[in-house]
Amino acid sequence: MAYQQIKIIDFGGQYNQLIARRVRECGVYCEIIPYKKADIAALKCDPPAGIIFTGGPNSVYLETSPHIDPEIFNLGIPVLGICYGAQLMAYTLGGKVATAPTSEYGKTLTDFETKGSVLFEDLPEKGVSWMSHTDYIAEPPAGFKITAHTPVCPVAAMENREKGLYAVQFHPEVNHTENGTEMLRSFLINACGCRCDWSMGSYAETAIKDIRERVGGGKVLLALSGGVDSSVLAALLAKAVGSSLTAIFVDHGFMRKNEGDEVEAAFKKWDINFVRVNAADRFLKRLEGISDPETKRKRIGEEFIKVFEDEAKKIGKVDFLAQGTIYPDIIESGAGDAAVIKSHHNVGGLPEHVDFREIIEPLRLLFKDEVRALGLTLGLDEKLVYRPPFPGPGLAIRIIGEITREKLEILRDADAIFREELERDGIARRIGQYFAVLTNNRSVGVMGDGRTYDYTLALRAVTTTDFMTADFAEIPYPLLGKIAARIVGEVKGINRVVYDVTTKPPATIEWE
């Protein structure tokens, strides 16, 4: 039985990925579509169970702001508008949207009309909601009932139950909104009739079926880094196409300490064609004199493809290149009207032409924790599934400035100590990602009776579930002190260690 889908139409808001996370947590599959690609004919032909409009930074009454074909409200598909999406619904259907006399930001006490409301039935009549708006719905369109308000926002929620149209000015997807997930679940079940039966098991079955149909009798070449994403993809492809899969592990020389040998040992016993390519010299040459992080990523991406093309020629005709691209990679590399945060080597770094018929990315719509869940569903070892994430460009983007062999060895040794101590302490499993960064800053130090002028090393550890947002991990000071003492004492070239306590946003998890 095919699983139901929700289409999330993206108007450029800051919480759009959280909406997708919450919907999937409710057991319903969803996809995000930029508003410019919301095709009415396609929605008519293959209607989803429901549609959600996201928030956005614009004012709906301006001609330059994102709008949508009004026909979408006549398709008979339930629609939920959130923030800008709520204002867009009101404005398009004849309501009044204006600049609010008082803007609302953050936690806001809200009154809910619970009786007869699809979204708020059986929920408390008062609660805290998360607001973030300058404009507001001054008057709802004809046929809409107001179902929530605040002291300064007369239409905090509205609905036209007969037409299946619902809108909230606040953000139910944000944890600060009390009962927000329950509100979304009510829309999915009561308005859309969703069964809430989607799981990683059903996703795996569908993905395997789709891969088989797409690949047919062709051969697949997998870009296997040994990280979580490509490892899960390897398991998925192994079940889908078996011996038609060749996994190429490119050791670009930017791996963590002993990691190349560990990856080879882990995958050699798998029932797949495994090939290791030692290409450190080739990649280092491509990065000579390069300090800019975007240039590093793009050159590494280009060289990856060239290595795969070379290896493919040795294997024979290969039709498909598989990559472990996941949703945060797509988002951060820029999608629709979104800004490019950083190009991922397997997204923004691809050359225009490659010697494969197609590139397949079966994980591109999954978040990191969903990829881990899929790995467990496919039977991967838990230790492999929960391995700390490692970006494709590896240590090349954890060294600030130009890459040299000396810097790589310094960082490998320091990073190994950091990881070893966190794992020995038992705190590692509670941290989403942890690693060391070799900065390009040197400072004066004293070791023994002598003066040193060596590098500053930054330690980074974050807690996160979806890798779209993250907080710094509160590592105990005694443990940080022990790690710093070991690194300075055992790694030649480092005389100062600092700890990064910045959240994402405003920072990203990686430094480059």
For the annotated catalytic residues, the residue numbers are 83, 171, 173
* DSSP codes of every residue in 79-90: EEEETHHHHHHH
Query: 């000579």: which residue's tokens?
Result: 288
CA distances 444 to 64, 458, 483, 490, Å, are 54, 16, 20, 18
Query: C-alpha 509: how far from its chain's center?
Result: 11
193-207, 411-425, 468-482: range with lowest mean pLDDT: 193-207
Q: Give the pairing of strands 165-168 and 157-160.
A: antiparallel
Q: Which one-letter DSSP state was computed for residue 187? A: I
**453: CB partners within 8 A, 6+ apart:** 442, 443, 444, 445, 495
In the chain, what is the greatest distance between 2 CA atoms, to the nearest angstrom? 82
Q: Collect all residues with Cβ–Cβ distance below 8 Å to 381 and sequence separation of at least 6.
A: none
CB 126 within 8 A of CB 109: yes
Higher pLDDT, 223 or 184: 184
pLDDT value, residue 309: 78
Give the best-scoring range by mean pLDDT among 2-11, 23-32, 67-76, 218-227.
Answer: 67-76
All structural domains of the chain, each given as residue ranges with its CATH number in brackets, are 5-191 (3.40.50.880), 200-385 (3.40.50.620), 398-499 (3.30.300.10)
The residue among 204, 122, 248 whose CA lies nearest residue 371 is: 204
With tokens 């991990």, the residue in question is 473
Rounded (to 5) percent helix, strand, coil in the chain: 35, 25, 40
In whole angstroms, what is the distance from residue 125 CA to residue 449 CA? Answer: 70
Give the C-alpha separation, 412 to 407, whole Å.
9
Query: Which long-range CB contacts under 8 A does 153-157 form with residues at least 24 apart?
Result: 153/100, 153/104, 153/108, 155/90, 156/110, 156/111, 156/129, 157/86, 157/112, 157/119, 157/120
- CB-hemisphere CA count at 13 Å for 64? 2
In whole angstroms, give the CA distance from residue 459 to residue 461: 7
Average pLDDT over residues 307-331: 80
pLDDT confidence band for 450 (50 / 70 / 90): confident
| Tokens of residue 196, six digits | 């809430």
pLDDT value at residue 136:
96
Q: What is the pLDDT of residue 19?
A: 92
In percent, how much of the chain has pLDDT > 70? 94
Q: Do residues 303 and 283 touch, judged by C-beta distance below 8 A?
A: yes
Taking each helix axis as running N to C, give the angle between helix 228-241 and helix 200-215, from 0 to 180 degrees, rounded to the nearest 10.
60
Over range 421-433, report the average pLDDT: 92
In this structure, are residues 235 and 379 in contact, taking their beta carbons and an 8 Å threshold? yes
Mean pLDDT confidence for 41-49: 93
pLDDT recorded at residue 344: 41
pLDDT exceeds 80 at position 333: no
What digits encode the pLDDT tens for the residues 222-254?
A: 888 778 888 899 999 999 998 889 998 889 999
Separation between Cα atoms, residue 198 and residue 230, nearest integer Å = 23
CB atoms within 10 A of CB 386: 14
- Rounded to the nearest 5 degrees, what angle is found at the Cα of 509, between the Cα atoms of 508 and 512? 70
Q: What is the pLDDT of residue 330?
A: 66
The per-residue DSSP string of 254-294 comes to: -PPTTHHHHHHHHHHTSSSEEEEEE-HHHHHHHTTT---HH
- The sign of the dihedral angle between the CA atoms of 424, 425, 426, 429 is negative
Indicate if the pLDDT at residue 433 is higher than 60: yes
Mean pLDDT of 405-415: 97
Q: Which two tokens stand for residue 268?
A: 């050699």
**Helix (H, G, I), strand (E, B), or coil: what is residue 266?**
helix
- Which pLDDT does position 328 carry in this prediction? 66
pLDDT of residue 180: 95
Predicted confidence at residue 203, as pLDDT, reads 85
Paired tokens of 368: 């990191």
Q: What is the predicted pLDDT for the residue at 265?
A: 80
**Pairing verdict, β 96-112 and 126-139:** antiparallel
Claim: this prediction has a pTM higher than 0.85: no
